[in-house]
Each structure stands twice: as C-alpha cells, then as structure tokens.
Amino acid sequence: MMKVNGDNRDNRKTCDKIICEEERYIKEAKTLAEHLCVPLEWRSPEHNQTTENFRTPGHDRSEECGTPERHRPAENGGTVLRFGRQGLCLEVGGQSLRGDFTKLLPRLRPSALRRETLVRAARFRRTCGRYETCNETGDLDASAPGKPAEGDCGRSLFPQLTAVDATAGLGEDSLLLAAMGFHVQLCEYNPVIAALLRDALRRAAEIPEIEEIAGRMRLIEGDSRTLLRELTEPPDLILLDPMFPERRKNALSKKKLQLLQRLEQPCEDESGLLRAALDAGPRKIVIKRPVRGDFLAGCRPGYSITGKLIRYDCLVLPEHERMNRGECNHVEHE
C-alpha cells in the first residue's frame, strides 16, 4: 500500500514491541526491530518468559518491558509483532494477522484461476507472437490464435509480461498475477505490512507448490507514487488497490481488513496515485474498487469487470501514449 496521509510520521511506530519466541529468529528480529525503531523481547517458548531484552537505538534503555503485565500487550489492546514457528504475526487487541499464501492454493489451480475476477481483468490475448489487451468480458475465445495452453497454476499464461502491484498489502492479488505468469513488483509503504509480506514471501519460497510462483514476486518498500516514476521500463500492467473508504453501513469488515485499516488509512491522494500509474506508461491499469464504489479519482475506465463484491476498472492506454509515458487522453473524467 502506498503512503496516503499528508503527514504520516507515526507509520514506523505502529507496534509496541517485537516478541521473538524462537532463538533462531533473534538476528532477523533484531534487524526488524531496528528498522521499525521498537523494542525487541525474546521469550523462551518453553517457559513463556523473557530471558533476554534488546533495545534499539533511540529508546530509553532504563524503561523496563519484562514485567508480566507487559508480556501480553496484544491482549490489552496493544500491538506487537511476534516471531514464531508459523512466521511473523501481528497481534492487536486479541486479533492476529499473518501473511499466508498457502490459503490461496485452491484458487491457484488452472480451472479456478481462470475464473478469478482479477485474472479476467488482467488478461492479455497472445496473437502473432505478441500479447494484446483482452476484450471487455475478460474472456479468451477458445478459438483465438495463440491461446495460452493450460499449465500448472497458470505458469504458461504470460511468461514475459510484467506487472506492478502498487498497493501490495499482504500480496494476495500479486500472487494471483504471478500464478498467471506475470513477473510482479510489489510496492508497500507501511513498514509493518511490508515486514509481514516479506516474511510470507520467504516462507512461500520453501513450499514446493508455490515456490516457482513466489520466485516471480519482488517486494520493494516505499511510496508507490515515487517508485512508479522510478521504473526504468513501462510495465505491461499496474494494479491499484488503495484502501477502500469506510463503509457507510454499520456492518463490520473482515477481521483482516480491520487490522490493516489500523495501519493504513483510506487513500487521500487518489489523483496522485492514478497520475503516477498513468505516467509509468503501462499497457493496462486495473483498479480494484467496491462493487458500488466511485471511480478512483473520478476517472472513468474503458470498461469494468464486476464480481459479487469487487469491481475491477480497466484503463487501456494506446500504444503511442505508452511510449510517450504521457497522459491517458482517451479516459473520460466525470
């Protein structure tokens, strides 16, 4: 996700401490604690007690954090990052959040992958040795020349295309794109979310079923508005998924979304995000929105593909505008 607040100085103070429960992770936990500027606590998994405390530069070392009351900050409404056998986990007020790509394995099967709304929106058609943007239905005609062959987890769909997920979050949408065959660059501004995503990618690289897919995903931490302008080559696809505005109804979001919203507020610079994506000169921009949500920055898409809860607005840039990395003049504004 990108930086969305005009003054977001507290982004690196979004957790109280890091608790490491496995000795083999201490070095990695210390590096992360220094990056986030939060204390590190190592707790023995056998005795569930603090056996050693680490302090990062800039913190008052006289402050004690080993009292029993402070061993459970997440249960008391605090926020901690916890290292353990299951990877890195964020705990807030009794709820937990952890990047886990294995939950998406059923969706990566070729038959299921082709039905994904995002996959339909992101498709390109291959004709005469090159890829063309797909039609408004997102479907590939079975008789179309050069139709990609079926492959394990979509491995052979688009092996030479590149994508940028400018608002990566926990990387689930990026995983779907990588399963299609895209080489995906993931941009994430919030350091805590980036840490969870980096840990999920590390663990995914050790799982045979998704090792190859994860190998096509590369995480870069930073503001996507800046990172998009620093690209050396225009990508084929840019995915924008800014945090949705708060729901007008009183129904609660999913727990995962609630935790993410504590770290990242709804996008306040929609125009800046969209302009950076347009200036990068991609062949297609796919924007994830609520099914009845407004267009991002009021920019009307060329077409939309709608699921039950999510709508993907698609902007297709003409070739000459891509080469000039200029404005998308064909897109109408409301």
- Return the structure tokens found at 233: 């080559």
Pick the more confident residue, 68 or 74. Answer: 74
Per this entry, what is the length of the chain? 334
- Against a cut of 0.85, is the pTM above it? no
Q: In what order do the strands lie in the sheet with 310-316?
A: 217-221, 183-188, 162-165, 237-240, 284-290, 310-316, 303-306
In this prediction, residue 105 carries a pLDDT of 96
Residue written as tokens 């920019």? Answer: 299
Lowest mean pLDDT among 58-67, 279-288, 308-317: 58-67
In this prediction, residue 66 carries a pLDDT of 35
In this prediction, residue 227 carries a pLDDT of 96
Confidence tier at 9 by pLDDT (50, 70, 90):
very low
Q: To the nearest whole percent, how much of the chain has pLDDT over 90? A: 50
Instruction: Find the mean pLDDT for residues 303-328.
Output: 76
Per-residue pLDDT tens digits for 161-199? 999 999 999 999 999 999 999 999 999 998 999 999 999
Rounded Cα distance between 332 and 214, Å, is: 37
In one letter, which amino acid is 244? F
Neighbours of 100 (CB within 10 A): 17
In this prediction, residue 270 carries a pLDDT of 86
Pick the more confident residue, 281 or 326. Answer: 281
Per-residue pLDDT tens digits for 15-34? 889 999 988 889 999 999 99
- Return the structure tokens found at 148: 């990609």
Per-residue pLDDT tens digits for 128-151? 445 555 555 444 333 222 233 344
Say whether pLDDT at 125 is over 60: yes
In sequence order, the β-bridge partners of residue 44 are 49
Rounded Cα distance between 258 and 262, Å, is: 7
Rounded Cα distance between 44 and 174, Å, is: 35
3 state SS of 188: strand
Per-residue pLDDT tens digits for 214-272? 999 999 999 999 999 999 999 999 999 987 655 444 343 466 666 666 666 555 688 99
Q: Mean pLDDT of all residues in the chain?
A: 76
Say whether pLDDT at 82 is over 90: yes
Say whether pLDDT at 288 is over 80: yes
